Amino acid sequence: MHAVKRLWLQKPCSRNMCTITTPQLNYMINTHIHNNNVKYAHKLLDENPLSCNIVSWNMIMTAYVQHHQIGLAHQLFDKMPLKDAVSWNIMLSGFMKTRNTEGLYQCFLQMGRAGVVPNDYTISKLLRAVICTELEVLVYQVHAMASHLGLNLNVFVGSSLIRAYAALREEEALSRAFDDISMKDVTSWNALVSGYMELGMMVDAQTAFDLMPQRNVISWTTLVNGYVKNNRVNKARSVFDKMSERNVVSWTVMISGYVQNKRFMAALKLFLLMFESGTRPNHFTFSSVLDACAGCSSLLMGLQVHLCIVKSGIPNDVIWLTSLVDMYAKCGDMDAAFCVFESIMDKNLVSWNAIIGGYASHGLAARALEEFDRMKNVGVTPDEVTFVNVLSACVHAGLVEEGEKHFAAMLTEYGKPAEMEHYTCMVDLYGRAGRFNEAEKLIKSMPFEPDVVLWGALLAACGLHSNLELGEYAAERIRRLESNHPVSYSMLSKIQGEKGIWSSVNELREKMKERGIKKQKAISWLE
């Protein structure tokens, strides 16, 4: 028996060599798949057509989907002489894994035309795939189909409907979907709490949580995460402290919540408590902690966290490595940031943005633009954040023509609409170069009203070039948006002083006293 098993693992058995029963074939296929020999498993299928059944085909299709070989899975699916609901579900799962919503929808339509009745898994997959896409309008139709089949009573489908209606911000439909579930379990209650939190209905979420017949660690973490997402981080911490059991996800959610609310020291203190509790951090935890180090420019803590990651044996991962690049860049060590960046095997857009932004923020425009070119050469398409970093690099180096070129490419070549940050960079670029006509023209062409930051950039440029007329206009715009903003007064006072208009300077100072506006004091992190 052992000799035969070894033979199966070495190579597929030919029909001319031996006769294989269906159970034997499926066992051999499963063994090869378990050993990552999907190719041999597929060959077994081809060489034993009389012994294979739907299970044989489905196992190999599943393996292809799990290995992200959706094309091969689709080819096998098309060759299947007979398909069941599981076969169709495997293909739906494959389309979902590759985020091919249109392919998933067409597959679902073909499933109906083939007369195969969808099950709870089918409906749930479809709902998860279409939310937050252009096909989210299908949620109502899928719900109607589920009701027709009686699947809306199923806890699996009901929970998916709750999440779908939360994404659509349909409060009443969300509640009805929960009420329809015949046998509610902790999963459905967790979905309800999460759905209410997503809609900002914190009181209803807390009430649902209090009414839960039983709770698990996911229930508590869902409530904590909901308060974090609604910017109630103190309430989130209060719930977190009441948890009798915490896992790595619970700790990471709370640490990440502090980081999102820019409470970086609180995040680092909580990380130390997590370490003392004996809970082992994962790569998501370390990523959030590194973001906290970057936020408070704590290079020493960042170095200790880096060492901790190495000691923990966590494999290299683009998520925490990118956070490490960002941490070193924001703490001023660009050599270390670049070294870590180069170690990332599968660099993604966020990784490239981190290194380009790092060089840009340190005024190393040539290096930032060099990395930008390298990013495009390897086939990574820039996004809005990339162009903010590139334009910022041009601002620091005074590269007006280079900035204009990239701004135009963003609009035309890449089809990215300019946002406030992009306009602010261009106004800053023109202003620093003393090209106020171009800056004014660009501001007038904007599809939305400029904000305080943009007017502040223009006012700073006016101070640099002693442009009193435009500076007064920019200062007035700032005061309209924020009446007691000290920058508009202090910068305008500086320009007037340089022009020798001391009567206006004294007048501004009197206004500042009347309104209780104090000049901002310079601060330093060094003590």
Q: Give CA angle at 159 (215, 106), nearest 5°.
A: 155
Token pair, residue 73, equals: 């899975």
- Tell me how far apart the alpha carbons of residues 322 and 464 are, in angstroms, rounded to a whole number: 36
So what's the pLDDT on residue 133?
A: 79
Predicted local confidence at residue 17, as pLDDT = 43
Side chain identity at residue 172, one-letter code: E
* Angle of the 186-198 helix axis to the 171-180 helix axis, nearest 10: 180
Residue 352 Cα to chain centre, angstroms? 15
Structure-token match 């309104």, residue found: 515
Q: Calculate helix-pair angle for 349-361, 365-377, nearest 10 degrees.
A: 160
Rounded CA separation 61/74 (Å): 8
Q: How far apart are CA 177 and CA 163, in angstroms?
A: 10
CA gap 56, 34 in Å, rounded? 14
- How does pLDDT run across 488-521, given as a tens digit for each residue? 445 554 454 444 443 333 443 444 444 444 444 4
pLDDT at 454 over 70: yes
CA–CA distance, 386 with 162 (Å, rounded to integer): 36
- What pTM value is reported for the model? 0.75
pLDDT of res. 334? 95
303 token code pair? 């170095």
Single-letter code of the amino acid located at 482: E
Indicate if the alpha-carbon torsion angle 465, 469, 472, 474 is positive or negative: negative
Q: What's the full length of the chain, in residues? A: 527
Q: Residues 33-55: pLDDT tens digits?
A: 888 888 877 888 888 888 788 88
- 188 or 516, higher pLDDT: 188
What's at 109, amino acid-wise?
A: L
Distance CA 505, CA 519 (A): 14
C-beta of residue 91 within 8 angstroms of C-beta of residue 74: yes
Please choose, from the candidates 169, 161, 167, the residue with its C-alpha nearest in 3D space to the C-alpha of residue 145. 161
Cα-Cα-Cα-Cα torsion 190, 192, 197, 201, nearest 10 degrees, comes to -140
Q: Give the pLDDT confidence score for residue 42 in this predicted structure.
A: 85
Dump pLDDT digits (tens) for 333-374. 999 999 999 999 989 999 999 999 999 999 899 999 999 999
Ranges 66-80, 409-423, 434-448: which has the least confidence: 66-80
d(CA 525, CA 527): 6
Task: Using CA atoms of 97, 102, 108, 114 in order, give the dihedral in degrees to the nearest 10.
Answer: -120
Q: What is the pLDDT of residue 20?
A: 79
Mean pLDDT in residue range 394-417: 93
Average pLDDT value for residue range 100-106: 84
Higher pLDDT, 44 or 428: 428
Rounded Cα distance between 305 and 313, Å, is 13
Q: What is the pLDDT of residues 69-79, one digit of tens each?
A: 888 888 888 88
Alpha-helix runs per DSSP H in 230-298: 233-242, 248-260, 264-277, 283-295
* Residue type, position 242, single letter: K
By mean pLDDT, which of 9-23, 185-199, 448-462 is the weakest? 9-23
For the segment 180-190, the average pLDDT, to the nearest whole number, is 93
Q: Which two tokens stand for residue 444?
A: 């007038």
523 pLDDT exceeds 60?
A: no
Rounded CA separation 467/306 (Å): 48
Provide the 10 A C-beta neighbour count for residue 47. 17
CATH code reported for the domain at 246-346: 1.25.40
Rounded to an integer, what distance in angstroms lies between the CA atom of residue 337 and that of residue 343? 10
Q: What average pLDDT does the segment 449-474 reach?
A: 81
CA distance 131 to 138: 9
pLDDT of residue 242: 96
Across the range 199-223, mean pLDDT stands at 95
CA 292 – CA 260 distance, rounded (Å): 9
So where are the chain's domains?
Answer: 184-241, 246-346
Q: Quick one: tokens of 45?
A: 């299928």
Task: List Cα–Cα distances, 408 to 23, 399, 405, in angstroms.
Answer: 64, 14, 5
DSSP label at residue 500: T
Which tokens hold the place of 498?
Answer: 């340089």
| Span 464-489, average pLDDT | 68
218-246 pLDDT, tens digit each: 999 999 999 999 999 999 999 999 999 99
* H or E segment and range at residue 171: helix 171-180
Interatomic CA distance for residues 415 and 246, integer angstroms: 45
Contacts of 38 (CB under 8 A, 6+ apart): 32, 60, 63, 64, 67, 69
Q: Is 415 left (phi over 0), alpha (psi -120 to 50) or beta?
A: left
> How far is Cα 38 from Cα 43, in angstroms, rounded to an integer?
9
